[in-house]
Structure 1
């Protein structure tokens, strides 16, 4: 490939006709002049900026194509859909089931922006995302996809752009804007956008590794992502009275409620994550007949769905979050939790493997079961206005309430971090929130300090 560093890039030429306006980027490589016409000034500006960036990086230009070497590589003909499937296959063996699903969701969100814009024969949005998420970006299921899905994937492959187009600013901006939206066009949650952007960064790094891109364009690309809240929304955190009211309502929720009271109690009194509580077995418990006991946690079983696990189970057996495999933690059980657990062991069936909360038809506790029970308990315990609000919206808020209670009760942050399975830094950043109802106490103290007037 003959190359040169003798490059000059001129201003955009604007032609205004009677019915249309054209924007032409013009530049010279060696002795030859090149131009490329666009329908919008934004696209022209973006294309020109890419040329200028390549020149400033000291990148050589191909005299036969007029493009930077990175943009002229034959490897750019690699199809986005093939590349994305290859990336998924590379990540699949060592990834947790939940991470596999997250990668697939991100790639599915990116792909519409990597199509050529032709609509004729295109599958509808729902069918497209189903074909991508459940089949194309699932290494274990791809070869078994139904005929209708294979037809949709063939169309997508025919109309997918080359991977190298991600070096173009206009294309990259389109990808970022697309992954920030839901299927209905509304903005996606900031935390979802953040996860998708991290996957996109890794995808671009893999493209550089495959020599499909010269550099990863994302770190230097200016794009404002939605701000992600680092703390717990204090409106979701229940106080002790509300927590006990919810536990009582769980026990009255048929038909799984009585079996799950101790499950939710572990979240509230021991700050276990749902995936940790679902995996508690009898041998993990050290309980007196009354008083303080202990629960030792050494594994978690996060829900991922049967499509994403290696054995087809709904849950994936993993080490504890932020800990090495085999490393566990011991959490004390207050007398009230000890009572809930002893009552459960004495009155409720446990699984053949000693699991405290087996499913009715499967060894693991289905996420759908405890979520359905939790929603029923909220309806029973709260007024309709409160049910429609964020207070105790998910079972995970019980863990937030527990950690907040420990901190507000004066337990040292280092000890709380050890019990909750966090670093002190993360603990104080995320979980050090006031309980619902503490505002009134604080306001009374301020009023007293002001002399009660």
Structure 2
């Protein structure tokens, strides 16, 4: 490598030929002048500072690149973790659902601010997370105007982020794991949250290996035990049919129009075990509602809710295929006469939207999760005792689905049929609802007693 110690560095100057503000750093190595343009003055000042520190340390400058040996090594180290995270999000955007995009970003809000050098001028963590959430991880067409504080935060991250290859060092990957184990307020995160964030980090590292940016997945080289997640439904959340009937009746009396419009939606979550996003996407053409006997719901689409910055449409609800199924797959759910009657009454009173959707506000908008959760909590207050209100009993609308599946299993419906109706795999079904299947303990105890007496 041809080097020189003859280095001259000039002051930063504003690029007058650029329409958007930019700043030019000029320096000379031997007889050859060099220049580099930066979007912000802070980035330019950081670059000049690195050059001057190298000259004070007596480093040789490469004549080919114009950079000192320390900066040449840094340039050869590949992308920073922040750069890789941005390219990872861009590559995954098209193929991911809105909720998945939100989950990936939430993990990176913990990881990116943790995997940085100890440089002066670190912005507040909230400013770092805000610029990641509202700008850096969004596609160009979805980004808004950067506020001054966020510009400074972005500039600092671009300079301070660790090289991706540094994650091969145990100390760096442990820093990443420590970060995902905590909430933003410093308290321990829930077990399921930690596991979701680690899954994102693991997939990122596997992608880096596949792209030959890392020689191996650094997570495989460290010992780290994730917190245990229950993975099963708490039987204390499960309501019985009488309690469901009382709750549905109470929903009718919450608000002028909101509660009455939600009764049939909650009924679908219980009598048909629909997920909230499946109920949100339910249309009249999906429902066979005979005057007598059992009916049939044929599910085609779901409308999960997410922050609108992550959806394709910019709305809070995106239309998606059914969970755990192929894009155009459907699921048939036979529904009992009680639900048939509820749906027929709902359609008669409230009609349907132009696209056939059953459940929406008086203005035709889908119900937000906060809206139907608030109605549900008010119904619980109208029906339950003080002790029940503070208990996990039907604490969330989603617990209606858990109650439905538990009822079917305890009624003796074959697990294969329950799994088909609920949209589960049989193995997942039995694992998740293991604690909600009643009557087995007495049967097993009887078998043991019989064996002991033999």
Q: Tell me: CA distance 1:117–1:374, structure 2 relative to 1, closer, same or farther (3 Å).
A: farther
Secondary structure, counterpart of 2:94 in structure 1: coil
User: Among 401, 408, 413, which residue is 2:415 paired with?
Assistant: 413
Using the alignment, how far apart are the partners of 1:312 and 1:351 within structure 2?
Answer: 20
The answer to whether the 8 Å contact 2:134/2:143 transfers is no
Deviations 1:94-138 (A, max 9, x none): 1111111111111111112201234x4333222322221232122
The answer to whether the 8 Å contact 1:253/1:377 transfers is yes
Q: How big is the alpha-carbon RMSD for the aligned residues of Structure 1 and Structure 2?
A: 2.4
Aligned equivalent of 1:138: 138
Unaligned runs of 5+ in 2: 2-72, 450-454
**1:169-188 residue pairs with structure 2 within 5 A?**
169-188=170-189
The answer to whether the 8 Å contact 1:407/1:413 transfers is yes
Deviations 1:60-94 (A, max 9, x none): xxxxxxxxxxxx89542422222211110011111
Deviations 1:313-349 (A, max 9, x none): 2112111111111110111111111111111011123
Using the alignment, how far apart are the partners of 1:348 and 1:334 within structure 2?
Answer: 21
Asked whether 1:223 is paired with 2:224, we answer yes
Aligned equivalent of 1:430: 432
Secondary structure, counterpart of 2:309 in structure 1: coil
Please state how far the C-alpha of 1:412 moved relative to its aligned partner: 0.6
The answer to whether the 8 Å contact 2:104/2:200 transfers is yes
The answer to whether the 8 Å contact 2:261/2:360 transfers is no
Asked whether 1:102 is paired with 2:103, we answer yes
Please state how far the C-alpha of 1:145 moved relative to its aligned partner: 3.9
**1:362-381 residue pairs with structure 2 within 5 A?**
362-381=364-383
User: Among 265, 268, 291, which residue is 1:266 paired with?
Assistant: 268
The answer to whether the 8 Å contact 1:76/1:212 transfers is no
Aligned equivalent of 1:236: 237
Please state how far the C-alpha of 1:282 moved relative to its aligned partner: 0.6
TM-score normalised to the size of structure 2?
A: 0.77
Aligned equivalent of 1:66: none
Using the alignment, how far apart are the partners of 1:378 and 1:145 within structure 2?
Answer: 44
Please state how far the C-alpha of 1:442 moved relative to its aligned partner: 6.9
Secondary structure, counterpart of 1:151 in structure 2: helix
Aligned equivalent of 1:111: 112
Please state how far the C-alpha of 1:219 moved relative to its aligned partner: 2.4
Please state how far the C-alpha of 1:212 moved relative to its aligned partner: 2.5
Please state how far the C-alpha of 1:247 moved relative to its aligned partner: 1.2
Aligned equivalent of 2:161: 160
Please state how far the C-alpha of 1:283 moved relative to its aligned partner: 0.7
Q: Tell me: CA distance 1:311–1:234, structure 2 relative to 1, closer, same or farther (3 Å).
A: same
The answer to whether the 8 Å contact 2:264/2:343 transfers is yes
Unaligned runs of 5+ in 1: 2-71
Q: Tell me: CA distance 1:166–1:141, structure 2 relative to 1, closer, same or farther (3 Å).
A: farther
Aligned equivalent of 2:122: 122
The worse-fitting range, judged by mean Cα deviation, of 104-113 and 127-136 is 127-136
Deviations 1:433-452 (A, max 9, x none): 427xx68x9789989x99xx
Deviations 1:208-256 (A, max 9, x none): 2333211111123210101122211112121222222221221111141
Aligned equivalent of 2:35: none
Deviations 1:291-317 (A, max 9, x none): 211111011111122111111121121
Secondary structure, counterpart of 1:307 in structure 2: helix
The answer to whether the 8 Å contact 1:104/1:138 transfers is no
The answer to whether the 8 Å contact 1:75/1:211 transfers is no
Aligned equivalent of 1:80: 81
Using the alignment, how far apart are the partners of 1:261 and 1:374 within structure 2?
Answer: 10
TM-score normalised to the size of structure 1?
A: 0.78
Aligned equivalent of 1:323: 325
The worse-fitting range, judged by mean Cα deviation, of 357-366 and 232-241 is 357-366
* Corresponding pairs, count: 375
The answer to whether the 8 Å contact 1:250/1:257 transfers is yes
Asked whether 1:399 is paired with 2:396, we answer no
Using the alignment, how far apart are the partners of 1:337 and 1:283 within structure 2?
Answer: 16
